[in-house]
Amino acid sequence: MKEEQLKRAYEDAKAQYASLGVDVDQAIEKLNNLSISIHCWQADDVSGFENPDGELTGGIQATGNYPGKARTIEELRSDFEKVLTLIPGTHRISLHAIYGDFGGEFVDRDQIEPKHFQSWIDWAKKVGVKLDFNCTLFSHPKGESGYMISHFDPEIREFWKEHLRRCRRIAAEIGRQQGDPCIHNIWFPDGEKDKTVSRFAHRQLMKEALDDVFTEKISTDYLKDCVECKLFGIGSESYVVGSHEFYMGYAVKNNMMLTLDAGHFHPTESIADKISSMLLFVPELNLHVSRPERWDSDHVVILSDELLALTQEIVRSGHADRVHVGLDYFDASINRLGAYIVGIRATQKAMLQALLEPTRQLREFELQDKNFQRLAYLEELKSMPWNAVYNYYCQQQNVPVGDAYIQDVQEYEDQVTSKRV
């Protein structure tokens, strides 16, 4: 689309939104302040660099065999650098502990140190992104039984507790060097396939392990820990130790951040409606935006009703500054870089629609019991020209407008990822 056309469409959109009392430029500014935490594991099907040829375990699965996955740190960074040229805004990259720069050595999880992530910190500074972090309690022989940090064997528990302690220190060092707290997400797949009898015992062990690890106090200027619950995984269909009730209780009791993953609840349960409740009881929330297709399948995020409901709840809560938006999906069946762009842009588009909502007016209708008017406006808003605003934003940020990024992704595949054989 030509520059003048884009500008005209934007001016039209601006006038239409102004008639509803919405300030489009303010919405763009807020969208531009939304740093999405881009998960590193879409680029390589959650392989990492500790044992890249090992099996992905822990009840999660990347299906598909599309060529071109990142096999080295250099390839992964090159993919990210490309991604950053195709999306507007300033973002974060979320690393898992198995993505350290181990220099070809095997470094076990209870041995990792900040030095293994120094090249990531330097790279992030160079490309202008901040980093987040995740401990990795999957794809390891000490997780074979299904239990790790809540294992009955104290030696196995100690191994994972040590991993967790080290991950917190690594994340804190990242936060210190980047001058911005590093969000450290804690997800353990501990659980069982079938009718578990010792549910209380495992949960007690998990609670004790967390309490023990968190006795080491680290300033939230550097590190923000958050805990992620899950309903079930592959091979843990019957019981997951870190359930919603477990972590909701833990986060509320300890006044810490809770992670809500869109795929970690019952299939028709939405995390959107949890935001306004949890914001009353925990200091901050971390979101794992994902797309569950019938199960926690981690499909690429698209502009769905569920995603829109999520961003609407973030904005309507009036506490968007306490909600961190991260992505969590891994699709190995399509161009992996394209998967990033689709998911990131969809999240931004949903956020923009939410920011362009005349919320005050809608609340007026509620006060006056005019619920037909509320519903009608919510319907009309769906076809308002929000995309003209997004296109203009992309153009202002010098990134491809509309579908232009598809060609860029194809070129990168032709020139780079297709050569990875």
Ligand X SMILES: C[C@H](O)[C@H](O)[C@@H](O)C(=O)CO
Q: Annotated binding residues for Mn(2+), as ranges?
A: 264, 296, 298
Which residues fall in the annotated binding site? Answer: 264, 296, 298
- Write down the catalytic residue from 192, 225, 261, 413: 261
Q: Which of 45, 228, 331, 357 is catalytic?
A: 228
Among 130, 142, 288, 291, binds Mn ion (CB under 5 A): 288
Distance CA 283, CA 315 (A): 16
Q: Which is nearer to ligand X, 59 or 68 (CB)?
A: 59
Catalytic one of 14, 288, 324, 349? 288
In the annotation, is 41 catalytic?
no
Q: Select from 256-264, 336-344, 345-353, 412-420 the region that touches Mn ion (CB under 5 A).
A: 256-264
317 neighbors 28 (Cβ within 8 angstroms) = no
How far apart are CB 381 and ligand X at their closest, in Å?
Answer: 31
Cβ closest to ligand X, residue 183 vs residue 409: 183
Residue among 215, 226, 218 nearest 183 (CA)? 226
The question of whether 187 is a catalytic residue gets the answer: yes
79 noted as active-site residue: no
In the bound complex, what is the minimum distance in angstroms from residue 228's beta carbon to ligand X? 6
CB of 60 to ligand X, least distance (A): 5
Q: Which residues form the interface with ligand X (CB under 6 A)? A: 41, 46, 60, 134, 187, 228, 230, 261, 288, 296, 328
Residues 294-353 that bind Mn ion (CB under 5 A): 328
Q: Is 264 in the active site?
A: yes
Task: State in angstroms the smallest separation of the CB of 387 from ligand X.
Answer: 30
Annotated catalytic residue 296: yes
Minimum distance from residue 260 beta carbon to ligand X (Å): 10
Cβ proximity to ligand X: between 328 and 357 the closer is 328
Tell me, yes or no, if 293 is annotated catalytic.
Answer: no
Residue 328 annotated in active site: yes
- Catalytic sites, residue numbers: 187, 228, 230, 261, 264, 288, 296, 298, 328
Q: Give the residues lining the site for Mn ion (CB under 5 A).
A: 261, 288, 328
